[in-house]
Structure 1
Amino acid sequence: MAERKELILKIVGKEFVMFQNVKDMYGRASCQDNPKTFKIMRTSQFTGWSTGALESYLNDLDDAAGSNRNLLAEKYARMMQSTLPLKYFEIKHLLPELDQETILLVNKIVAIEVEWQKAAMNKYPDIVGRGRPIYSSQDSSTSTSMETYIRGELLTYSRKTLDLYYQNCLRLKSKGINGAVVTLLAMVKMHGYGTLEEANEKIRAKSGFGVF
């Protein structure tokens, strides 16, 4: 357990450095000046990962830094294919090319993630409803869906990390575990709640104001 926590701590630290260097077309984003929220969101996301996937992604970050690549900048750029397609067309040539096998694998993972998000929304609507919309069909120039966000991030992973992450998704599914719920539980606990049910009820009671 200590090893996993150390891996996650290293990953989030390296990601935050990259996040600070992401250049938004509208200037520096306010979330870039909120390290606490960044840490909570990213740490919770990695809670359900296997140790092997964490180790592989940490290597991805190190390799990217050594090659002067910013994986977080690439993630947001990939999202623009759905949210800002004309702008994406202008920058597409700056991104690494993707082979068809990688795209197909990413699509398989995204399908699992979307199903998890749907189930989480049905069970904890007041928590999930505070976040991104689920489907890429809901994207706009000012709103990015969870589906598009997940796809954009997955497309920055190495093939080894993708393979390990996919196997982890299949392992969770085989055990009847919803990966999105694992992430949500870790997130609400870092906000001081004991359970998702408690967080969902308090958000509902307060209409979402000032709960997190």
Structure 2
Amino acid sequence: MDDKDRIIKEILDIEWELFTNLNNVGGRANCQDNKNEFLITRSSQWENLSRNVCYSYLKDLHNARISNTNPLFEKYAYMMEYTHKDEFDKIKMYLPEEDERKNKVISKIEEIVMNWEKEFHSKYPKISKFVRQIDIDDVAPARAYLIGEHKSYSYTTNLIYLEYIKTLDFNLVEKIYSDIIAKKGLKDLDTLEGSL
């Protein structure tokens, strides 16, 4: 196991602990008991990012432990600002103060990643019916999830993430989905699209 693999393993261990112990307004969600699905999805994300991104995020997780905060709670809370505004208003006092510097970086990340999302949905319309949607106006789940995720990262992690994705000459969203289905034993995205 190399250094990046060790970093990812530690990230996944911490994230699962935080995720499975989240308290939800509507009670415990089924996905909080599905560790295998969680690990497939999250490992596919981290494995496709640079060691520097992963290491910076791991430091975020360690800092969260020190400050007794839960970045996964923050992620889903920030998503609710777009999907369940009334519920968000009840919990927003538990979130860190808005960081305008970070928000500007996230906007640049959003522009790049949402273009990849659109390309993926256009290329794989059948698969896209089973993933986070992008065509439900401004509160589309893919966009809400992206913003929620990145607001839970530190400014530094977002900056490193932005610099990394600017170097890519492929669609990162497609690559992550491709890895997810491979880990589930399916051949590839084109085969899956053709079978639906």
Into which bin does the TM-score normalised by the smaller protein fall? over 0.9
CA contact (8 A) 2:11 2:58 kept: yes
Partner of 1:210: none
The separation in 2 between residues aligned to 1:62 and 1:97, in whole angstroms, is 19
1:28 is the counterpart of 2:21: no
The answer to whether the aligner puts 1:182 opposite 2:189 as a matched pair is no
* Post-superposition offset of 1:200: 2.0
Shift of 1:135: 4.9
Matches within 5 A, 1:48-197: 48-135=48-135, 137=137, 139=139, 145-172=141-168, 175=169, 177-197=170-190
CA RMSD of aligned residues (A): 1.6
Matched residues in 2 for 1:79 and 1:38: separation? 18
TM-score, with normalisation over the residues of structure 2?
0.94
Percent identity between the two aligned chains: 33
Give how far 1:138 is off: 6.3
Cα distance in structure 2, aligned partners of 1:102 and 1:138: 20
Q: State the alpha-carbon separation in 2 of the partners of residues 7 and 124 from structure 1.
A: 32
- The separation in 2 between residues aligned to 1:167 and 1:88, in whole angstroms, is 31
Match of 1:208 in 2: none
| Gap regions ≥5 residues in structure 1 | 205-212
Gaps of 5+ in 2: none
